[in-house]
């Protein structure tokens, strides 16, 4: 796995586990949180942004632009939007015992899923 592919896989993995936090760190606007889970994810992004602020301001500008472009890419943006919806469905389904959203969320949060998505993204776009 090349460095770009590895960086993409790690970023996608982190972003799918914390989709709001990823957007906050990159300065992408989000709608107000609708659940406690979304609020925790958002607040984690605020905390990480504060922790990374010096790096992002000084040395991380190129990386930030790169990953912001990745998020705005149709494929990755769609994955983050799907994850937002899956998390909401999971909260709705949880009391009923239905597992469809939980299973999809779990699949999308695995490292192997992120690795495959990074490979697909690299095939689609010349990064």
Q: What is the mean pLDDT of each run of 10 residues along the chain (127 residues)?
A: 84 95 91 90 93 80 85 88 95 94 97 96 79
Helices 19-26/61-72 angle, 10° precision: 130
What is the model's pLDDT at position 58? 78
Kindly report the number of other CB atoms within 10 A of residue 120's CB atom: 11
What is the model's pLDDT at position 3? 85
Distance (Å, whole) CA 127 – CA 124: 9
Structure pTM?
0.86
* Gyration radius from the chain CA atoms: 15
What is the model's pLDDT at position 60? 75
What is the model's pLDDT at position 126? 64
What is the model's pLDDT at position 1? 53
Distance (Å, whole) CA 98 – CA 113: 22
């Amino acid at each position: 796995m090349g460095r770009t592919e590895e960086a993409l896989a790690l970023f996608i993995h982190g972003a799918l586990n914390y989709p709001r936090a990823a957007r906050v760190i990159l300065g992408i606007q989000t709608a107000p949180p609708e659940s406690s889970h979304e609020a925790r994810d958002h607040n984690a992004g605020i905390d990480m942004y504060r922790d990374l602020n010096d790096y992002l301001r000084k040395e991380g500008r190129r990386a930030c632009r790169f990953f912001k472009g990745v998020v705005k890419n149709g494929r990755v943006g769609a994955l983050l939007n799907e994850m937002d919806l899956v998390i909401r469905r999971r909260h709705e389904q949880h009391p009923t015992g239905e597992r469809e959203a939980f299973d999809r969320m779990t699949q999308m949060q695995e490292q192997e899923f992120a690795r495959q998505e990074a490979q697909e993204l690299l095939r689609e776009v010349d990064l």
